[in-house]
Amino acid sequence: MFPQALVMSLMMPLFIISATFLVLTTAIKILREYERAVVFTLGRFDKVKGPGLVLLIPLVQQMVRVDLRVQVIEIPTQDVISKDNVSMKVDAVLYFKVVDPEAAVIHVQAFLNATIMLAQTTLRSVLGQHALDEMLSERTKLNADVQAIVDVQTEVWGIKVTNVEIRTVELGENMVRAIAKQAEAERDRRAKIIHAEAEFQASQTLVNAATILGSVPAAMQLRYLQTLTEIGSEQNSTVIFPMPLDIVKPFLEIMDAASTKTNGAGVRQTTALPQSPSLIS
Protein backbone atom coordinates (compact mmCIF):
# COMPACT_ATOMS: atom_id res chain seq x y z
CA MET A 1 0.00 0.00 0.00
CA PHE A 2 2.79 2.38 0.83
CA PRO A 3 4.50 2.24 -2.59
CA GLN A 4 1.17 2.71 -4.36
CA ALA A 5 0.37 5.76 -2.27
CA LEU A 6 3.84 7.12 -3.02
CA VAL A 7 3.34 6.69 -6.74
CA MET A 8 -0.02 8.41 -6.59
CA SER A 9 1.46 11.27 -4.61
CA LEU A 10 4.15 11.70 -7.27
CA MET A 11 1.73 11.47 -10.19
CA MET A 12 -0.59 14.17 -8.90
CA PRO A 13 1.93 17.03 -9.25
CA LEU A 14 2.89 15.82 -12.71
CA PHE A 15 -0.74 15.69 -13.73
CA ILE A 16 -1.37 19.16 -12.35
CA ILE A 17 1.68 20.55 -14.15
CA SER A 18 0.67 18.93 -17.43
CA ALA A 19 -2.91 20.19 -17.15
CA THR A 20 -1.70 23.68 -16.31
CA PHE A 21 0.69 23.68 -19.28
CA LEU A 22 -2.08 22.48 -21.62
CA VAL A 23 -4.45 25.17 -20.39
CA LEU A 24 -1.82 27.86 -20.81
CA THR A 25 -0.94 26.78 -24.34
CA THR A 26 -4.59 26.80 -25.39
CA ALA A 27 -5.50 29.98 -23.53
CA ILE A 28 -2.49 32.18 -24.31
CA LYS A 29 -1.58 33.06 -27.90
CA ILE A 30 1.01 35.53 -29.17
CA LEU A 31 0.40 37.08 -32.59
CA ARG A 32 2.96 38.90 -34.71
CA GLU A 33 2.36 42.36 -36.12
CA TYR A 34 1.12 41.00 -39.46
CA GLU A 35 -1.22 38.40 -37.91
CA ARG A 36 -4.81 38.57 -36.66
CA ALA A 37 -6.90 36.06 -34.72
CA VAL A 38 -10.53 35.43 -35.67
CA VAL A 39 -12.02 34.29 -32.32
CA PHE A 40 -15.09 32.03 -32.03
CA THR A 41 -16.98 31.52 -28.76
CA LEU A 42 -18.90 28.25 -28.67
CA GLY A 43 -18.78 28.23 -32.46
CA ARG A 44 -20.08 31.76 -32.94
CA PHE A 45 -17.94 34.62 -34.20
CA ASP A 46 -16.81 36.85 -31.34
CA LYS A 47 -14.18 39.33 -32.53
CA VAL A 48 -10.89 39.82 -34.35
CA LYS A 49 -7.95 40.14 -31.97
CA GLY A 50 -4.28 40.91 -32.26
CA PRO A 51 -1.50 41.56 -32.69
CA GLY A 52 0.27 40.82 -29.42
CA LEU A 53 -1.04 38.76 -26.52
CA VAL A 54 -4.42 37.08 -26.99
CA LEU A 55 -6.19 35.29 -24.11
CA LEU A 56 -8.74 32.57 -24.84
CA ILE A 57 -11.10 30.64 -22.59
CA PRO A 58 -10.07 26.99 -22.85
CA LEU A 59 -12.68 24.64 -24.34
CA VAL A 60 -14.96 27.63 -24.94
CA GLN A 61 -13.11 29.80 -27.41
CA GLN A 62 -11.12 28.87 -30.51
CA MET A 63 -9.26 31.08 -32.98
CA VAL A 64 -8.14 31.01 -36.60
CA ARG A 65 -4.84 32.69 -37.39
CA VAL A 66 -4.85 34.91 -40.53
CA ASP A 67 -1.79 36.39 -42.27
CA LEU A 68 -2.29 39.97 -43.51
CA ARG A 69 0.87 40.19 -45.61
CA VAL A 70 0.83 40.29 -49.41
CA GLN A 71 0.95 36.72 -50.63
CA VAL A 72 2.43 35.62 -53.94
CA ILE A 73 0.98 32.56 -55.65
CA GLU A 74 1.80 31.04 -59.01
CA ILE A 75 -1.06 30.34 -61.37
CA PRO A 76 -0.24 26.96 -62.96
CA THR A 77 0.25 26.73 -66.71
CA GLN A 78 -3.07 26.96 -68.53
CA ASP A 79 -3.95 25.81 -72.05
CA VAL A 80 -5.47 28.82 -73.78
CA ILE A 81 -6.95 29.20 -77.26
CA SER A 82 -6.86 32.79 -78.49
CA LYS A 83 -9.55 34.59 -80.44
CA ASP A 84 -7.74 33.80 -83.71
CA ASN A 85 -7.58 30.07 -82.83
CA VAL A 86 -3.94 29.92 -81.73
CA SER A 87 -3.19 27.34 -79.04
CA MET A 88 -0.69 28.31 -76.35
CA LYS A 89 0.33 27.73 -72.76
CA VAL A 90 0.17 30.64 -70.32
CA ASP A 91 1.15 30.99 -66.68
CA ALA A 92 0.97 33.98 -64.36
CA VAL A 93 1.71 35.29 -60.88
CA LEU A 94 -0.98 36.63 -58.53
CA TYR A 95 -0.40 39.09 -55.67
CA PHE A 96 -3.11 39.49 -53.03
CA LYS A 97 -3.63 40.18 -49.32
CA VAL A 98 -6.36 39.72 -46.72
CA VAL A 99 -7.97 43.01 -45.72
CA ASP A 100 -10.93 41.57 -43.77
CA PRO A 101 -9.94 38.53 -41.65
CA GLU A 102 -13.55 37.87 -40.59
CA ALA A 103 -14.83 37.61 -44.17
CA ALA A 104 -11.79 35.57 -45.29
CA VAL A 105 -12.53 32.93 -42.65
CA ILE A 106 -16.34 32.94 -42.57
CA HIS A 107 -17.42 33.65 -46.16
CA VAL A 108 -15.17 31.19 -48.00
CA GLN A 109 -13.55 27.87 -47.22
CA ALA A 110 -9.79 27.87 -47.77
CA PHE A 111 -9.57 31.34 -49.32
CA LEU A 112 -6.09 30.64 -50.71
CA ASN A 113 -7.21 27.71 -52.88
CA ALA A 114 -10.39 29.55 -53.86
CA THR A 115 -8.39 32.55 -55.06
CA ILE A 116 -6.04 30.35 -57.11
CA MET A 117 -8.91 28.53 -58.81
CA LEU A 118 -10.70 31.80 -59.57
CA ALA A 119 -7.53 33.30 -61.04
CA GLN A 120 -7.05 30.28 -63.32
CA THR A 121 -10.54 30.42 -64.80
CA THR A 122 -10.43 34.20 -65.18
CA LEU A 123 -7.06 34.05 -66.95
CA ARG A 124 -8.36 31.56 -69.53
CA SER A 125 -11.55 33.54 -70.04
CA VAL A 126 -9.85 36.91 -70.55
CA LEU A 127 -7.08 35.66 -72.83
CA GLY A 128 -9.55 33.71 -74.95
CA GLN A 129 -11.22 37.00 -75.92
CA HIS A 130 -8.04 38.46 -77.47
CA ALA A 131 -5.92 37.65 -80.51
CA LEU A 132 -2.32 36.53 -80.29
CA ASP A 133 -0.92 39.91 -81.35
CA GLU A 134 -2.81 41.60 -78.52
CA MET A 135 -1.46 39.10 -75.99
CA LEU A 136 2.11 39.83 -77.09
CA SER A 137 1.83 43.61 -77.45
CA GLU A 138 -0.78 44.59 -74.83
CA ARG A 139 0.24 42.46 -71.89
CA THR A 140 -0.10 45.35 -69.44
CA LYS A 141 -3.74 45.86 -70.42
CA LEU A 142 -4.46 42.13 -70.09
CA ASN A 143 -2.87 42.08 -66.63
CA ALA A 144 -5.10 44.95 -65.56
CA ASP A 145 -8.22 43.24 -66.95
CA VAL A 146 -7.53 39.97 -65.11
CA GLN A 147 -6.68 41.83 -61.89
CA ALA A 148 -9.89 43.88 -62.02
CA ILE A 149 -12.13 40.85 -62.60
CA VAL A 150 -10.55 38.74 -59.86
CA ASP A 151 -10.53 41.66 -57.42
CA VAL A 152 -14.25 42.28 -57.84
CA GLN A 153 -15.13 38.65 -57.15
CA THR A 154 -12.79 38.26 -54.16
CA GLU A 155 -13.93 41.49 -52.51
CA VAL A 156 -16.76 39.66 -50.69
CA TRP A 157 -14.13 37.26 -49.30
CA GLY A 158 -12.20 40.13 -47.70
CA ILE A 159 -9.32 39.73 -50.16
CA LYS A 160 -7.67 42.50 -52.16
CA VAL A 161 -5.90 41.49 -55.39
CA THR A 162 -3.08 43.98 -55.85
CA ASN A 163 -1.56 42.75 -59.10
CA VAL A 164 -1.60 40.02 -61.75
CA GLU A 165 1.39 39.45 -64.03
CA ILE A 166 1.27 37.17 -67.07
CA ARG A 167 4.69 35.58 -66.93
CA THR A 168 5.06 33.25 -69.90
CA VAL A 169 3.26 32.80 -73.21
CA GLU A 170 4.53 29.60 -74.78
CA LEU A 171 3.71 28.89 -78.42
CA GLY A 172 4.15 25.80 -80.57
CA GLU A 173 7.11 25.43 -82.90
CA ASN A 174 5.02 25.96 -86.04
CA MET A 175 3.60 29.18 -84.69
CA VAL A 176 7.05 30.39 -83.63
CA ARG A 177 8.35 29.85 -87.19
CA ALA A 178 5.32 31.63 -88.63
CA ILE A 179 5.85 34.63 -86.34
CA ALA A 180 9.55 34.71 -87.25
CA LYS A 181 8.69 34.81 -90.97
CA GLN A 182 6.14 37.54 -90.36
CA ALA A 183 8.67 39.59 -88.40
CA GLU A 184 11.27 39.16 -91.16
CA ALA A 185 8.78 40.28 -93.81
CA GLU A 186 7.89 43.29 -91.70
CA ARG A 187 11.57 44.23 -91.35
CA ASP A 188 12.05 43.94 -95.13
CA ARG A 189 9.01 46.13 -95.73
CA ARG A 190 10.31 48.80 -93.37
CA ALA A 191 13.78 48.66 -94.95
CA LYS A 192 12.33 49.19 -98.43
CA ILE A 193 10.18 52.08 -97.22
CA ILE A 194 13.15 53.73 -95.53
CA HIS A 195 15.28 53.26 -98.66
CA ALA A 196 12.56 54.76 -100.87
CA GLU A 197 12.16 57.72 -98.53
CA ALA A 198 15.93 58.27 -98.57
CA GLU A 199 15.97 58.21 -102.38
CA PHE A 200 13.11 60.69 -102.49
CA GLN A 201 14.81 63.07 -100.07
CA ALA A 202 18.10 62.80 -101.96
CA SER A 203 16.43 63.52 -105.31
CA GLN A 204 14.52 66.42 -103.80
CA THR A 205 17.77 67.85 -102.42
CA LEU A 206 19.44 67.52 -105.82
CA VAL A 207 16.52 69.32 -107.50
CA ASN A 208 16.78 72.15 -104.97
CA ALA A 209 20.54 72.38 -105.50
CA ALA A 210 20.15 72.43 -109.28
CA THR A 211 17.52 75.16 -109.00
CA ILE A 212 19.81 77.32 -106.89
CA LEU A 213 22.85 76.76 -109.11
CA GLY A 214 20.82 77.51 -112.24
CA SER A 215 19.39 80.71 -110.86
CA VAL A 216 22.73 82.13 -109.64
CA PRO A 217 25.60 81.97 -112.24
CA ALA A 218 28.20 82.79 -109.58
CA ALA A 219 27.18 79.70 -107.63
CA MET A 220 27.76 77.58 -110.73
CA GLN A 221 31.24 79.07 -111.14
CA LEU A 222 32.06 78.34 -107.48
CA ARG A 223 30.89 74.77 -107.88
CA TYR A 224 33.02 74.46 -111.02
CA LEU A 225 36.12 75.69 -109.19
CA GLN A 226 35.42 73.32 -106.30
CA THR A 227 35.20 70.40 -108.73
CA LEU A 228 38.56 71.35 -110.27
CA THR A 229 40.09 71.47 -106.78
CA GLU A 230 38.80 67.98 -105.98
CA ILE A 231 40.13 66.62 -109.29
CA GLY A 232 43.55 68.17 -108.76
CA SER A 233 43.91 66.70 -105.25
CA GLU A 234 43.80 63.11 -106.54
CA GLN A 235 46.61 61.11 -108.17
CA ASN A 236 45.05 60.75 -111.63
CA SER A 237 46.85 59.91 -114.87
CA THR A 238 43.97 61.22 -116.97
CA VAL A 239 42.06 64.40 -116.17
CA ILE A 240 38.79 65.24 -117.85
CA PHE A 241 38.58 69.01 -117.99
CA PRO A 242 34.97 70.12 -118.24
CA MET A 243 34.23 73.36 -120.05
CA PRO A 244 31.43 75.53 -118.70
CA LEU A 245 28.65 76.23 -121.14
CA ASP A 246 28.97 79.95 -120.46
CA ILE A 247 32.48 79.90 -122.02
CA VAL A 248 31.67 77.63 -124.94
CA LYS A 249 28.32 79.21 -125.76
CA PRO A 250 29.70 82.30 -127.68
CA PHE A 251 31.86 80.05 -129.88
CA LEU A 252 28.93 77.80 -130.55
CA GLU A 253 26.82 80.80 -131.59
CA ILE A 254 29.54 82.03 -134.00
CA MET A 255 29.90 78.58 -135.53
CA ASP A 256 26.15 78.24 -135.81
CA ALA A 257 25.84 81.61 -137.54
CA ALA A 258 28.64 80.75 -139.98
CA SER A 259 27.06 77.42 -140.77
CA THR A 260 23.70 79.07 -141.38
CA LYS A 261 25.30 81.63 -143.72
CA THR A 262 27.15 78.96 -145.69
CA ASN A 263 24.04 76.89 -146.10
CA GLY A 264 22.11 79.92 -147.36
CA ALA A 265 24.75 80.72 -149.99
CA GLY A 266 24.78 77.18 -151.27
CA VAL A 267 21.06 77.21 -151.73
CA ARG A 268 21.23 80.43 -153.72
CA GLN A 269 24.01 79.08 -155.96
CA THR A 270 22.08 75.94 -156.66
CA THR A 271 19.01 77.83 -157.73
CA ALA A 272 21.09 79.95 -160.15
CA LEU A 273 22.74 77.03 -161.93
CA PRO A 274 19.97 76.41 -164.50
CA GLN A 275 20.45 80.01 -165.74
CA SER A 276 24.18 79.59 -166.51
CA PRO A 277 24.91 79.78 -170.25
CA SER A 278 27.52 77.10 -170.05
CA LEU A 279 25.07 74.66 -168.63
CA ILE A 280 22.42 75.57 -171.26
CA SER A 281 24.87 75.00 -174.08
The model's pLDDT over 11-29, given as tens digits with 9 standing for 90+, comes to 777 767 776 777 777 788 8
Are 80 and 167 members of one domain? Answer: yes
Burial of residue 159 (number of CB atoms within 10 Å: 0-12, 13-18, 19+): buried
Query: How confident is the model at residue 269, as a pLDDT?
Result: 46
Task: Report the distance separating Cα 181 and Cα 133, nearest Å.
Answer: 15
Name the DSSP letter for residue 154: H
Distance CA 278, CA 281 (A): 5
Provide the domain count of the chain: 3
**Residues 156 and 87 placed together within one structural domain of the fold:** yes
What is the pLDDT at residue 275? Answer: 41
The pLDDT score that the predictor gives to residue 181 is: 79
Beta bridge partners of residue 93, listed in sequence order: 74, 165
pLDDT by position in tens, the chain (length 281): 446 666 566 677 776 777 677 777 778 889 999 999 999 999 999 999 989 999 898 888 999 999 999 999 998 888 888 888 888 889 999 999 999 999 999 999 889 999 999 999 999 999 989 888 888 888 889 999 999 999 999 999 999 999 999 988 888 777 667 777 777 888 888 899 999 999 999 988 888 877 877 777 777 667 767 776 776 666 665 666 566 666 667 777 788 887 777 765 554 444 444 443 433 33
- 61 and 89 both lie in a single domain: no
Sequential DSSP letters for 49-87:
E-SEEEE--TTTEEEEEEE-S-EEEEEEEEEEE-TTS-E
Question: H helices within the chain, ranges in order?
Answer: 2-27, 101-106, 111-127, 132-137, 139-154, 173-215, 217-232, 245-272, 277-280
pLDDT, residue 226, reads 74
* One domain, residues 50 and 101: no
What CATH number has the domain bearing residue 162? 3.30.479.30
Residue 254: inside a domain: no
Assess if residue 220 is contained within a domain.
Answer: yes
Please choose, from the candidates 92, 109, 103, the residue with its C-alpha nearest in 3D space to the C-alpha of residue 163: 92
Does residue 60 sit in the same domain as residue 78?
Answer: no
| 8 Å CB contact between 58 and 91 | no
Range of the domain at 44: 2-66
43 & 91 share domain: no
Given 66, 98, 120, which residue is the final one in a domain? 66
Of the residues 38, 66, 94, the one at which a domain ends: 66
